[in-house]
Amino acid sequence: MVNAVADTHAVIWYVFNNPRLSERAISVFREAVETNNQIAVSSITFVEIVYLLEKGRVPAATLERLTDGLQKPGAVLVEIPVDSQISGTMARVNRAEIPDMPDRIIAATALHLGVPLISRDHRIQLSAVATVW
């Protein structure tokens, strides 16, 4: 079962044990591990990471660490593809509240799955999308 969706920065901070990840976010990841559940990662996150790598904004090992983390037996992270259902759910994500397309896709993924979004992004937190931070 998926407990939450993590946005791109939350996933990066999780795989690197970065202290920028909030205590509440850490507890959601920890709870998923303890209950043999998962945290979803939208496939758009992989695209964003490549973009951030190209701009030199994330460590070079980011994509490899995330990919490795998904392949481990009993992995807490699970990739959710962007499909027609997620695309259809984007209509429920107010573009005025969340204008960035990757953020809208990630928010739509959380809405589609009926779980909260782990995100520090203040625009997302102020939107109608349930968030954890």
Query: How many angstroms from the chain centroid is the CA of residue 48?
Result: 11
Q: What is the distance between the alpha carbons of residues 123 and 70, in angstroms, rounded to a whole number?
A: 28
Under 8 Å between Cβ of 105 and 82: yes
Domain count, the chain: 1
pLDDT-based confidence at residue 117 (cuts at 50, 70, 90): very high
Within the chain, strands assigned E span 2-6, 38-42, 77-80, 117-118, 131-132
Structure confidence by residue, pLDDT tens digits, 37-88? 999 999 999 999 999 999 999 999 999 999 998 998 889 999 999 999 999 9
pTM over 0.85: yes
Using an 8 Å Cβ cutoff, are 48 and 82 in contact? no
Note the pLDDT tens digit of each residue in 84-108.
999 999 999 999 999 999 999 999 9
- Indicate the pairing of strand 38-42 with strand 117-118: unpaired
Q: Note the pLDDT of residue 1.
A: 95
pLDDT at residue 112, as a whole number: 98
Q: In angstroms, rounded to a whole number, what is the distance separating the alpha carbons of residues 114 and 51?
A: 28
Range of the domain at 55: 2-132
Q: What is the CATH number of the domain that holds 114?
A: 3.40.50.1010
- Across 117-129, average pLDDT: 97
